[in-house]
Amino acid sequence: MSITAYIGILGSGKTYEVVRSVILPAFLNGRRIVTNIEGVTHEKFMDFILNDEKLKDITPGIVIPVSDDDVNKESFLPYKGSGETFCKPGDLICIDEAWRFWETDKMLLTGHRSFFAEHRHFADKESGFTCDIVIISQDLGSICRFIKSRIETTYRMQKHLALGLAKRYRVDIYMGAKTYKKSLTSSYQEKYNPKYFPLFHSHDERNAKETRVDKRQNIFRQAKLWIMFLFSIISFAVATYFISSFLNRGQTSSQNIVHAQKTEPAAPLPSVAPSSPPVAVLPLSRTWKISGTLKDHGADFVIISDSNGAFRLIGKEVFIGQGMMMYALIDNERVTYFSGSVK
């Protein structure tokens, strides 16, 4: 048997979690459930499983709703040496707003004190289940220390008011009753499923509606946040534009150079000796001369120019030789450092 606590402020999802994750699975497992949660009845749970084709073949348990007056009776919980009690060994007992009954040690009845101290001894003879009790409260500070020191696991629900997500909440799970960071074992996000709403009442009145008296708690209503968001988008767009322009400019230059190389007449293979007759008889170019070399993105180019100040980039692989003796055959003429004419 375990003592488990579900805590959270009003509307944080603690009652929903108990109904969906504790009572319903126990009911489907054939257990006897006793609870004072508003609106929980055996008929509602039977209707729930009858409307689900996957659940029609199970053997359900029984849900017994009780009042706060019932919980406050000495004979409500089983204890050593007791006679007939309302709750039986093996029951799952879920008590909402537990501070009403066990806020201080003085409020703790003798029979209840015995139950919390020796709860694991109360087992059902047929099913073998021991008693499990779930305590629901807004904060464990409102529960007496005698019970609090015996809590095995605490589930804390928090709603996402700051994010404006009314249909979602977070569940933090702690070992023991202390909700310290070192006691945190896991956290997960949950979303309300409307199909479980008919199983209980989250308000005393069915038509009750919750509103926010001050909507500034929603961070998405802060103008500063939207200004920073828009600034980030604009900055990203501008940076993307400049980077794209820079990269495309480099690609365009390379394409123009390659195109210029392809339009040149085929040069003799480098393996052809410079002294071969075809090369020796070609005249020096009267238009172009070598002006220098250039390295760009790992590629080597030779710059040639004419007397009018026009420049061309030619791939270095077209040229033969090294240094001042380097030359290439362009337009059926030899282009060297000494070719070309002075204007």
Instruction: Judge residue 97's burial from the number of C-beta atoms within 10 Å of its C-beta, 0-12 exposed, 13-18 middle, 19 or more buried.
Output: middle
Closest of 33, 25, 91 to residue 58, by C-alpha = 25
Mean pLDDT is lowest, of 42-46, 97-101, 236-240, for 236-240
CB 143 within 8 A of CB 137: yes
CB-based burial, 177-187: b 16+ in 10 Å, e otherwise: bebeeeeeeee
For the ranges 69-73, 188-192, 210-214, 269-273, the maximum mean pLDDT occurs at 69-73
pLDDT on residue 298: 81
Please name the residue that has the structure tokens 């409102």.
Answer: 142
Whole-number pLDDT of residue 324: 86
Does position 213 have pLDDT exceeding 60, yes or no?
no
List CB contacts of 94: < 8 A, sequence separation 6 or more. Answer: 18, 22, 23, 33, 34, 35, 36, 37, 133, 134, 136
Mean pLDDT value across residues 98-117: 93
pLDDT tens, residue by residue, 220-274: 566 776 788 788 888 888 888 888 877 776 555 555 555 555 555 555 555 544 5
pLDDT, residue 279, reads 47
Residue type, 59: T
310's CB contacts (< 8 A; 6+ apart) are none
Structure-block tokens of residue 290: 């070598």
Confidence of residue 138 (pLDDT cuts 50, 70, 90): very high
CB neighbours of 71 closer than 8 A, spacing ≥ 6? 36, 95, 100, 101
More confident residue, 80 or 162: 80
Write down the CATH number for the domain with range 3-212: 3.40.50.300
What's the token pair of residue 271? 């393996």
Q: How confident is the model at residue 340 (pLDDT cuts 50, 70, 90)?
A: confident
Element spanning 84, H or E: none
Mean pLDDT lowest for which of 24-33, 51-60, 204-213? 204-213
Residue-wise pLDDT for 274-287, tens only, equals: 544 454 558 888 88
- Antiparallel, parallel or unpaired: β 153-160 and 3-7: parallel
Extents of the domains making up the chain: 3-212, 222-263, 268-335
User: What DSSP string runs through 164-220?
Assistant: TEEEEEEEEEEESS---GGGEEEEEEEE--GGGGGGS-SSSSTT-----S-GGGSGG
The kind and range of the H/E element at 295 are strand 289-296
Q: What is the pLDDT of residues 226-238, one digit of tens each?
A: 788 788 888 888 8
Tell me the β-bridge partners of 211.
Answer: none
| pLDDT digit string, tens, across residues 163-206 | 556 788 999 999 999 999 999 999 999 999 999 999 998 755 55
Res 209: pLDDT: 56
The sign one gets for the Cα dihedral 73, 78, 80, 82 is positive
Q: Which of 9-18, 144-153, 164-173, 297-306 has the lowest mean pLDDT?
A: 164-173
Does 329 have pLDDT greater than 50? yes
113 within 8 A of 146, measured Cβ to Cβ: yes
In 3D space, the residue among 266, 274, 265, 271 whose CA is nearest the CA of residue 325 turns out to be 274
- Average pLDDT of 302-329? 88
Q: What is the pTM of this model?
A: 0.61
Mean pLDDT of 67-89: 91
Q: How far apart are CA 17 and CA 13, in angstroms?
A: 6
Output the pLDDT for position 53: 83
DSSP structure string for 132-171: EEEEEES-GGGS-HHHHTT--EEEEEEEETTTTEEEEEEE
